[in-house]
Structure 1
């Protein structure tokens, strides 16, 4: 995490149109990508969120901020008919004094400011069915509200992010190079991956046939990207950096991947990798309580493929990095990426084993009144 002195931060903040004089600037949150700070001013009850955009991960800063501006502007137009204070239910970009969406400093760093949504809370881990339902409702509502905005207006900020053909191509390149001599020990894992290759391409095939509409998707549907009020009611979806064109099954599958596994993503004891079916059902019911208003039949069909694809894709990505010599993901011991690979692979196997039960829950949740 970068270190900034108060003078540097105050200079950055002075470039933006804030209501009031700055009283304090303090580090805020525990994000791993962008540096964040809480900015308190001396007027009103409003605080601000200052962020340094990690332009190594998001090099197209203009496209990134244009995407967020398009999405939040559209959300506000929808929300004005639903809530009293729209600024509490979506992010609000604070412009610079010159009207720009971000400020570039003398060091080449990029900064932005949002209104800070005070009085909210989030959870890193889903522990109850009520929380899971709220998470499903939040992302289902988010997709529904954006379903009337043309997805082609947005830039693909992370090209091929959920493209399994791209991920498998990277794996094949890693196999061919075998830079650190690890290929011999992962033969069975590779057999498993390539045996399921066609099965895991079903969303892409449906899209290529024109069966799936291109939507605006979040692409990072972790539960801590949902803000709740003090009664655990959904208030806002945050972290919009990865919002871009995609298919709804990707968001659904990634959310399920993060809540259904009772174990950690790098659990060594594979016996602990078991499915939490009640959380799956609660999330699904929450999701359909909002999303069934706009989803097509083919999109509903694709959701199950997303449930299988997203953990499978992580198997591919972790194993690719392991074969490459651990150059992408941070590792804490020699075979950390291999452990992650095996954990996600066990999750895929568990999902495959419970397919009939999980697909029945999906079918029933579509028709269950919200």
Structure 2
């Protein structure tokens, strides 16, 4: 972490590359993210904004210029759409990039590091864990609105910032190669988990196949719909969707499924005692209601039908990724103890089990919410 004392010498040159108002009072480490280094830049002038400075991890995101082009395209589109909505506040509801003095939306330093800057959104809060149906609803509303506003943005204009990110067939092929190679001799320990993956790959490939057949349209999707990627205002209402690095072409089921994966689980992602892992149906309904209230008019029947399969698919993919990394020798994910990736995989697979067990209830909830949303009169903004 970079403390205030270091900011003057280490970051002064970086800050000088951006078009800032006022003067810098202090720079402090900000947030709990594990990918980028993020700093809150406080302003001396009360009338000038604070800023959020980030060093982008170019080891994870190999093409930072393309990533920044995506973000500029998406935020410009969102701001334009919200500008036509009565009562909307685009400056608060959309991230605002700060240009460099040279013009681009990022700066590359002499060591090859990439930096970007946003306006800091004051009086907002994010949470790592969903604790109420109301919060789940606000998360659903935020990501649903994000989808709906971007529905008319041509997906071919966006770059794949992480190729094959939610591509289950590619993930399965990487898994198979790791099992065949067995580089650290762990395959014998994970026979039940390997069988779990193999037994479900055909069903888990359904969304991919429907997409390839053109039944499910490619859309501009967020692809990392954790609840902490929604900023809430002081009243607890969703204000802004953040962390746009993985915004790229995808299927709506990906965003719904990843949000459900991280919303409805009653235990942590790496829970060792899988008996504690259950599905909170009230949180599922809360998220589904908020999501469908915003997207209902934009989604096809096939897309609505893909939402519950998406809720099963995303924990399956995450479990598959954790298991692959464990078999491969723990090279990708940071681990905090021996067997951590295996524990994570088992927790995700247990969540899949629980979602499978209540799948009829999940489908009933979606059907009920769709009917209720369709009964809501449409009013002009």
Q: Same fold (TM over 0.5)?
A: yes
Tell whether the 8 Å contact from 2:146 to 2:241 is kept in structure 1 after alignment. Answer: yes
Residue in 2 aligned with 1:188?
Answer: 192
Question: How far 1:22 sits from its partner (Å)?
Answer: 2.0
Cα distance in 2 for residues equivalent to 1:85 and 1:356:
40
Residue in 2 aligned with 1:200?
Answer: 204
Residue in 2 aligned with 1:252?
Answer: 256
Q: 1:10-159 maps to which residues of 2 (within 5 A)?
A: 10-43=12-45, 44-82=47-85, 83=87, 85-159=89-163
- Which stretch of structure 1 is more off in the superposition, 7-16 or 80-89? 80-89
Residue in 1 aligned with 2:289?
Answer: 285
Q: Secondary structure at the match of 2:225?
A: coil
Q: Secondary structure at the match of 1:50?
A: strand
Question: How far 1:302 sits from its partner (Å)?
Answer: 1.0
Question: How far 1:265 sits from its partner (Å)?
Answer: 1.1
Question: How far 1:208 sits from its partner (Å)?
Answer: 1.1
What are the ranges of 5 or more consecutive residues in structure 1 without an aligned counterpart?
A: none
Cα distance in 2 for residues equivalent to 1:34 and 1:341:
24
Question: How far 1:45 sits from its partner (Å)?
Answer: 4.3
Cα distance in 2 for residues equivalent to 1:181 and 1:358:
39
Cα distance in 2 for residues equivalent to 1:225 and 1:49:
15
Question: How far 1:2 sits from its partner (Å)?
Answer: 6.7
Residue in 1 aligned with 2:178?
Answer: 174
Tell whether the 8 Å contact from 2:2 to 2:28 is kept in structure 1 after alignment. Answer: no
Q: Secondary structure at the match of 2:52?
A: strand
Question: How far 1:84 sits from its partner (Å)?
Answer: 5.0
Change in 2 beyond 3 A, CA 1:84/1:291: closer
Q: Secondary structure at the match of 2:28?
A: strand
Cα distance in 1 for residues equivalent to 2:250 and 2:20:
34
Cα distance in 1 for residues equivalent to 2:204 and 2:365:
21
What are the ranges of 5 or more consecutive residues in structure 2 without an aligned counterpart?
A: 377-381
1:224 aligns with 2:228: yes
Q: Secondary structure at the match of 1:46?
A: coil
Change in 2 beyond 3 A, CA 1:211/1:63: same
Cα distance in 1 for residues equivalent to 2:281 and 2:269:
17
Give the superposed CA RMSD: 1.3
Tell whether the 8 Å contact from 2:222 to 2:255 is kept in structure 1 after alignment. Answer: yes
Question: How far 1:330 sits from its partner (Å)?
Answer: 1.3
Question: How far 1:67 sits from its partner (Å)?
Answer: 0.2
Residue in 1 aligned with 2:379?
Answer: none
Superposed CA offset, 1:113-155 (max 9, x none): 1000011111110000000000000000000000010011000
Cα distance in 2 for residues equivalent to 1:229 and 1:2:
28
Cα distance in 2 for residues equivalent to 1:252 and 1:244:
15
Quick one: which of 357, 360, 377 aligns to 1:356?
360
Q: 1:234-249 maps to which residues of 2 (within 5 A)?
A: 234-249=238-253
Cα distance in 1 for residues equivalent to 2:343 and 2:83:
47
Pairs aligned (count): 370
Q: 1:257-268 maps to which residues of 2 (within 5 A)?
A: 257-268=261-272
Tell whether the 8 Å contact from 2:21 to 2:48 is kept in structure 1 after alignment. Answer: no
- Which stretch of structure 1 is more off in the superposition, 29-38 or 356-365? 29-38
Change in 2 beyond 3 A, CA 1:115/1:5: closer
TM-score (norm 1): 0.97
Q: Secondary structure at the match of 2:118?
A: strand
